[in-house]
Amino acid sequence: MSNVLHTLIEQASEKADAMAKNMAKTRQKLVHGQDKLNMLQTYRDECQNGMHSKASTGMTGQQLRNQTAFVGKIAEAIAQQTREVEFLNTTLIHQNTQWQEALAEQRKFEALVEREKLKQAKLENKRDQKMNDEFAARIYRVQTAGEAQ
């Protein structure tokens, strides 16, 4: 039984390690995605500010439409990137839950092994105590038999 539990612990540990690696990859993608989102938002703000300053100094209707369309494309990219960041956040939460469950499973198997060790230690202590009691009884019988003569 102990070998089976050790195998299960090893498998649970490998599963938890793999999940931790996946979480690290997702976290890295999330940081990269958030950086990209921040960059797009900054770029959009700069384009809008530039459009306002150009509009005040004189801009044709066509230039204004082009600039507005360009800012709209950036807004679409921001919306798409926001969805990507939200998806990665949700994925990370889900992966964290799975990782916690894998760790709990590993700890459960480790607790079973520990219980089995304690059980074996108690049995061994009982055997030792029984042997000591028998030995003490034998010594007592030998001593009392010797005194009786």
Instruction: Confirm if 40 and 83 have CB atoms less than 8 A apart.
Output: no
User: Looking at the predicted structure, is the pLDDT value of residue 82 above 90?
Assistant: yes
Q: Specify the DSSP element, H or E, that contains 134.
A: helix 61-148
Instruction: Confirm if 74 and 43 have CB atoms less than 8 A apart.
Output: yes
Here the CATH number for the domain that contains residue 60 is: 1.10.287.1700
Question: Domain for residue 27, yes or no?
Answer: yes
Question: Domain for residue 48, yes or no?
Answer: yes
Question: Domain for residue 140, yes or no?
Answer: no
Q: Which pLDDT value is given to residue 148?
A: 63
Residue 149's pLDDT band (cuts 50, 70, 90): low
pLDDT tens readout for residues 46-67: 988 887 777 777 778 888 888 8
Least confident stretch, 28-32, 119-123, 135-139: 135-139
Question: Domain for residue 89, yes or no?
Answer: yes
Domain residue limits at 63:
2-113
Number of domains in the chain: 1
pTM of the model as a whole:
0.70
Q: Which pLDDT value is given to residue 121?
A: 93
Question: Domain for residue 131, yes or no?
Answer: no
